[in-house]
Amino acid sequence: MIPKRLVECVPNYSEGRREDVIEKIADCFRGRENIWLLDVSPDKDHNRMVVTAIGEPEAMFNAVFDSVKVAAELINMEEHKGEHPRIGATDVIPFVPLRGITIEECVELARKLGKKIADELKIPVYLYEEAALRPERRRLEVIRKGEYEGLKEEIKRPERHPDYGPPQLHPTAGATVVGARKPLIAFNVNLGTNDIEIAKKIAKFVRASSGGLSFVKAIGVELKEKGIVQVSMNLTDYTKNSIYRVFELIKMEAERWGVPVVESEIVGLLPAEALFDSISYYLKLHSFDPLKQVIEMRLLELEGEK
Amino acid sequence: MIPKRLVECVPNYSEGRREDVIEKIADCFRGRENIWLLDVSPDKDHNRMVVTAIGEPEAMFNAVFDSVKVAAELINMEEHKGEHPRIGATDVIPFVPLRGITIEECVELARKLGKKIADELKIPVYLYEEAALRPERRRLEVIRKGEYEGLKEEIKRPERHPDYGPPQLHPTAGATVVGARKPLIAFNVNLGTNDIEIAKKIAKFVRASSGGLSFVKAIGVELKEKGIVQVSMNLTDYTKNSIYRVFELIKMEAERWGVPVVESEIVGLLPAEALFDSISYYLKLHSFDPLKQVIEMRLLELEGEK
């Protein structure tokens, strides 16, 4: 049975090379009631792994806590080397609301987990994004500044004190960042040109930081193998700016240079709602109710009610 | 838990007025394991009710058989009056493949049910649509010709003999039609004009029977209250002609008269796949995999695997 309340969690651990450690961390999410492990992605260069799991909030809380404990036992940050910025064995834990749970409840879950990690495992914890207690800590890069090595000293300064736990790193596990954020959609649009300047200009027009659409982050990148360029984006709140609006705005801007949009791609997971919203736009469906009319959505609703 | 194999069944019964009979028929689908009753629509003028249920094929087989038995006990066709064409207490039973089941397996299910109804309840059964054993019986209107009253005599003629059971109507329950069909999408497109001739012409251009798109049935109708006209359609195989293609073709034809498409509507249920297909067209998503990437679809897949 699929639970009525569902949260996604995408924790990152500082191990991407030792198979046995990777498996032991992933095992914390396997064979557990009300937890579905969707993906385990270790990266050798980064020496880091990303777990994607969805599940009932309480079950997820327990699974993640167990994984933090396992990571603290098996990963020694004193010996860790890798390209990706990091401050701890379990580096960062974001909770994402999926169904029947609000972002506020995810914030609560994140803070509760942070407190437990600090109390029981003696690992200092920072809260970020929506769960942040200090406004500057909404941004992960602010918390991770100086990384594990630099934070050893920095953590003693009051402005770098953790939100929970002592102002000193755990001797092997470092520190951990816990937080909550809304579902993020990774959306890329490929342009039929090899002129990177056009991709960069369009990215600038589209992203929130330079006057475009709110809740859109965008950069222009080259796809060298394909010989074309791409506007690569994160849509950080699809309920405020839909995929179709972002896509059509890019088409409109590309038109200025006579550049065609040749393909787009969605990377990773997204909620069905984000797509139904766009299809309603294109087909002019003014009174469409996906939760009642789409068989699969109806099934999930009915299953939740049982 | 949602079963891996799912069938939809939309049986029609010749009762739309007596509350107690309507409830007793609907009860056959309630509180049963692996059956979800989605809708019960009684119609007083038609004196007819339509049940929409989804469920595991074996469970559905049993639920529908029970409902045919109840209808045969509680409905007397000798006393039945209603506007809708009908030949029996349980008039028609279509099975529709939803997930993990083929149309061929639904044909088998329909024939097995037809045989059981004839053998155990002594009700003659005709097979229609994909389950038809005689080509002309694919069409429901051929089987129902003359209705209950006319069929009393007609059934004795070899060309009107039922596919299962004796060549005579059940004394109170009449005869029943059982069959299988692919999911059908009821899709309507509203045009910004009150000229019914334009809707009729576009319907003609679009529908299969006059040279348009295969698996599309279309008529032009007036929406008097709104003061506009509509192309009203059934898409009988959305895997062969997608919603977006039908919609864009109508837009293109309407352009000839400078008539705008003002709205469209999907009536009733449809499979998510039919929408993902269209969104992939509009957003140029060339490598999108909804079963893996849409959280809700992924959940249903995972649930099925357990």
Q: What is the pLDDT of residues B133-180, one digit of tens each?
A: 999 999 999 999 999 999 999 999 999 999 999 999 999 999 999 999
Length reported for chain A:
306
Q: What is the pLDDT of residue B305?
A: 57
pLDDT, mean of residues A131-137: 97
Q: What is the pLDDT of residue B300?
A: 83
pLDDT tops 70 at residue B304: no
User: Does B27 reside within a domain?
Assistant: yes
Are residues A293 and B270, on separate chains, in Cβ contact within 8 Å? yes
pLDDT, mean of residues B17-28: 98
In whole angstroms, give the CA distance from residue A205 to residue A197.
Answer: 12
pLDDT tops 60 at residue A306: no
Residue where one domain finishes, among candidates B162, B180, B198? B180
Q: What is the mean pLDDT of chain A?
A: 94
A189 & A137 share domain: no
Are residues A276 and B276, on separate chains, in Cβ contact within 8 Å? no
Interface probe, candidates A296, A303, A305, chain B, greatest B C-beta count within 10 A: A296
List pLDDT tens digits, range A223-240: 988 999 999 999 999 999
| Residues A163/A114, Cβ–Cβ less than 8 Å | yes
Higher pLDDT, A39 or A127: A127
Q: What is the pLDDT of residue A299?
A: 84
| Residues A49/A13, Cβ–Cβ less than 8 Å | yes
Residue A264 Cα, gap to closest chain B Cα (Å): 5
ipTM greater than 0.85, yes or no?
A: no
A89 & A213 share domain: no
List pLDDT tens digits, range A46-93: 899 999 999 999 999 999 999 999 999 999 999 999 888 999 999 999
B29–chain A Cβ distance below 8 A for any pair: no
In whole angstroms, give the CA distance from residue B89 to residue B81.
Answer: 12
Structure tokens at A268: 């990773």
- The SS3 of residue A255 is helix
| Residues A207/A200, Cβ–Cβ less than 8 Å | no
B218 & B159 share domain: no
Q: A119 pLDDT band (50/70/90 cuts)?
A: very high
pLDDT, mean of residues B86-101: 95
In whole angstroms, give the CA distance from residue A61 to residue A64.
Answer: 5
pTM: 0.82
Structural domain harbouring B258: 185-270
B60 & B143 share domain: yes
A165 & A231 share domain: no
A215–chain B Cβ distance below 8 A for any pair: no
Q: What is the pLDDT of residue B12?
A: 97
Domain count, chain A: 2
**Residue carrying structure tokens 């705005």:** A249
A114 & A215 share domain: no
pLDDT tops 60 at residue A305: no
A48 & A172 share domain: yes
In whole angstroms, give the CA distance from residue B305 to residue B297.
Answer: 13
List pLDDT tens digits, range B25-44: 999 999 999 999 988 999 98
List pLDDT tens digits, range A121-130: 999 999 999 9
Q: What is the pLDDT of residue B67?
A: 98
Are residues B293 and A270, on separate chains, in Cβ contact within 8 Å? yes
Residue B248 Cα, gap to closest chain A Cα (Å): 9
In whole angstroms, give the CA distance from residue B218 to residue A15.
Answer: 59
In whole angstroms, give the CA distance from residue B168 to residue B157.
Answer: 10
Q: What CATH number is given to the structural domain containing B39?
A: 3.30.990.10
B31 & B147 share domain: yes
**Which of B263, B271, B296 shows the shortest C-beta gap to A272?**
B296
pLDDT tops 80 at residue A2: no
Q: What CATH number is given to the structural domain containing A253?
A: 3.30.70.670
Q: Chain A contacts of B266, Cβ < 8 Å?
A: 285, 288, 293
A208 & A167 share domain: no
Q: B107 pLDDT band (50/70/90 cuts)?
A: very high
Q: A104 pLDDT band (50/70/90 cuts)?
A: very high
| Residues B81/B73, Cβ–Cβ less than 8 Å | no
| Residues A261/B237, Cβ–Cβ less than 8 Å | no
Q: What is the pLDDT of residue A301?
A: 79
Q: Which amino acid would we find at residue B213? A: L
- The SS3 of residue A3 is coil
Q: B82 pLDDT band (50/70/90 cuts)?
A: confident
Number of residue pairs across A and B with CB atoms under 8 Å?
123
DSSP 3-state percent helix, strand, coil across chain A (nearest 5): 40, 25, 35
User: Does B283 reside within a domain?
Assistant: no
User: Does A279 reside within a domain?
Assistant: no
**Residue carrying structure tokens 């649930």:** B303
In whole angstroms, give the CA distance from residue A276 to residue B56.
Answer: 27
User: Does A122 reside within a domain?
Assistant: yes
Backbone angles phi, psi at B270, to 5 degrees: -150, 155
pLDDT, mean of residues A262-291: 94
Q: A304 pLDDT band (50/70/90 cuts)?
A: low
Q: What count of other Cβ atoms lies within 10 Å of the Cβ of residue A302?
A: 14
Q: What is the pLDDT of residue A84?
A: 87
A131 & A176 share domain: yes
Helices (H), chain A: 19-27, 57-74, 103-121, 140-143, 147-154, 196-206, 243-255, 272-283, 290-293, 295-305
Higher pLDDT, B258 or A268: B258
| Residues B185/B218, Cβ–Cβ less than 8 Å | no
Alpha-carbon torsion angle B275, B238, B137, B205, nearest 10: 120
pLDDT tops 70 at residue B229: yes
The DSSP string of chain B is ---SSEEEE--EES-SS-HHHHHHHHHTTSS-TTEEEEEEEEETTTTEEEEEEEE-HHHHHHHHHHHHHHHHHH--GGG---SS--SBSEEEEEEEEEES--HHHHHHHHHHHHHHHHHHH---EEEEETT-SSGGGGSHHHHTTTHHHHHHHHTTSGGG--SBS-SS-BTTTB-EEEEE----EEEEEEES---HHHHHHHHHHHSGGGTS-TTEEEEEEEETTTTEEEEEEEES-TTTS-HHHHHHHHHHHHHTTTPPEEEEEEES-B-HHHHHHHHHHHHTBSS--HHHHBHHHHHHHHHHH-
Catalytic positions of A, please? 84
Are residues A299 and B271, on separate chains, in Cβ contact within 8 Å? no
In whole angstroms, give the CA distance from residue A219 to residue A157.
Answer: 35
Q: B203 pLDDT band (50/70/90 cuts)?
A: very high
Are residues A296 and B271, on separate chains, in Cβ contact within 8 Å? yes
pLDDT, mean of residues B9-15: 97
Residue where one domain finishes, among candidates B153, B180, B207? B180
A46 & A158 share domain: yes
pLDDT tops 70 at residue B306: no
